[in-house]
Copies of this chain bind each other. A is one copy, B any other.
Amino acid sequence: MPAVRESRLAGGIREAGQPPAAAGGGRGIDLMAFDEERTRGASGGDVRLRGFGDLVAFGEALEWVARHGSPLDVEEVDVAEAVGRVLAAPLHATADLPPFDRVSDDGYAVCSGETIGAGTYNPLLLELREAPGLSPGGAILVAAGMPLPRGADAVMPFGEAQANGRALEVLGSVAEGVGIEQRGVQLRSGATLAPVGRALRPQDLAVLASLGVERVSVVRRPGVKLVIAAAKGDARCPPPDANGPMLRALVERDGGIALPAGTEGDHRAAIREAMAAQGGDLLLAVGRTGTGPDDEASLALAGAGQLDVHGIAVRPGGSAGMGRAGELPVILLPGDPLACLCAYELFAGAMIRRMGGRDPRLPHAALEAEVSRKIVSTIGFTEVCQVRLVDGRVEPTGSPGSGGIASALRADGFVVVPAPLEGYAPGARVLVHLHS
């Protein structure tokens, strides 16, 4: 609808001798460069001052993520450093566990057959011996975890036997196998321990270490380059970078490595530079993704790479985009912190988890609960609604357009409302993804 090809706008009426207003300074926008580029015809995907045309459906954007988010290559890491890492190959037991018949309870190793019939009124007298081997009439003092002495087949508990010098008075019988953990009873050599894609847990490390495994093959962690546009505040008092700390924490949560990148004055140049630079498996360019005159992120991507998706039917975060610079996938995230958070959770997080070999679905714990106050959504948009739980029931923490990132601070979690719905009425049951 809007045709602005020939516009000169505010920037065009700058008087001679007057300095150009700082981009993003909040005091007007220099549109000279903008217009010149537009009239030169370099407007492929340029939505500035036009608005998005047809929005890309949520599912289609997710398909882009699935298509371009393949697990990275494999690396070997020390078991001691492997917690949270994702297995690149199925894990098999390299030995029996335990590796030998082992004492599992403190006591006296005996030959169980000799204790038959022993009791308080019929004590059995055994002779305390040294390990390693047990001969008839003998017993050996043992502690849990030790290899079982040869010839023994049970461990008599301290409560059932009294030592006196080298003599052991046995006051009960013990069945074969008591107090013993047989070789391989926990794990047989060759048994499958865990499948590809399993993120290793603390106890898994203990099993691997018990088996004598020192290194394990895992999917390399995705390196995520972050280029963050300066916030649009008052030029006299530029607001801090609100998205950087949040995104770095989210990237780490999803198993990525946030690669250092500062807030840049010239966002377009910074994106181009990051696209061209070596290193990193994914580029997140944050801010300047909308339809305003200074929204240059998509142009930077379209100019030096390829813009596949821009403008998605999700809210907040619909100005997100996706594309590639050579082999490097690039995701554009909106600069508004709540929109940035939502677009990250819906798309960038899934991309990082895919690249790291993880389940691409939302990693949040989730619970089903009943809506107590109406959740409003626009038909046609997949909407992310921040909610709190009050007495186990769900209510929004912000309303569309007035919640902002503070609504996510107030929230216990969020509800994703599918595009065909106009929200949820009180009484509806919804799935709440819990912020952790």
Contacts and interface: CB of A to CB of B under 8 A. Distances in A.
Interface residues of A, number: 115
A31 B136 CA distance: 23
Interface stretch (A58-66, A161-169, A297-305): A161-169
A232 to B, nearest CB: 4
A233 B147 contact: yes
A3 interface: yes
Contacts of A336: 144-145
A239 B210 contact: yes
Interface in A95-117: 97-100, 104, 106
Interface in A177-192: 181, 185-187
Given A181-B404, A341-B203, A405-B207, A166 B12 contact: yes
A13 interface: yes
Contact of A185 (B161, B193, B402): B402
A295 B407 contact: no
A90 interface: no
Interface in A6-49: 6-10, 12-14, 21, 24, 26-29, 31, 49
Contact of A203 (B24, B142, B157, B405): B405
A335 B206 CA distance: 11
Given A26-B147, A292-B143, A165 B245 contact: no
Interface stretch (A127-135, A277-285, A388-396): A127-135
A365 B209 CA distance: 26
A124 to B, nearest CB: 15
A80 interface: yes
A51 interface: yes
Contacts of A4: 158, 162-163
B409 A129 contact: no
A181 B405 CA distance: 12
A406 B10 contact: no
Contacts of A10: 128-131, 140-141
Interface stretch (A67-75, A247-255, A325-333, A425-433): A247-255
A51 B29 CA distance: 81
Contacts of A194: 409
Interface hub of A80, A104, A161 (most chain B Cβ within 10 A):
A80
Contacts of A28: 130-132, 140-141
Contact of A337 (B6, B162, B203): B203
Nearest to A27: B131
**Which one of A1, A162, A292 has the highest number of Cβ atoms from chain B below 10 Å of its Cβ?**
A292
A298 to B, nearest CB: 13
A162 B79 contact: no
Interface in A334-376: 335-338, 340-341, 365
Contacts of A240: 209-210, 212, 214
A293 interface: yes
A13 B130 contact: yes
A141 B49 contact: yes
Contact of A29 (B84, B143, B291, B338): B143
Contacts of A335: 144-145
A83 interface: yes
A106 B335 CA distance: 13
12 contacts: A7-B163, A10-B130, A13-B130, A27-B132, A82-B245, A98-B404, A106-B292, A106-B295, A142-B292, A202-B253, A203-B435, A209-B244
Interface of A: 1-4, 6-10, 12-14, 21, 24, 26-29, 31, 49-51, 79-80, 82-84, 97-100, 104, 106, 128-132, 140-147, 157-159, 161-166, 181, 185-187, 193-194, 201-207, 209-210, 212, 214, 231-234, 239-250, 252-253, 290-295, 335-338, 340-341, 365, 398, 401-409, 435-436
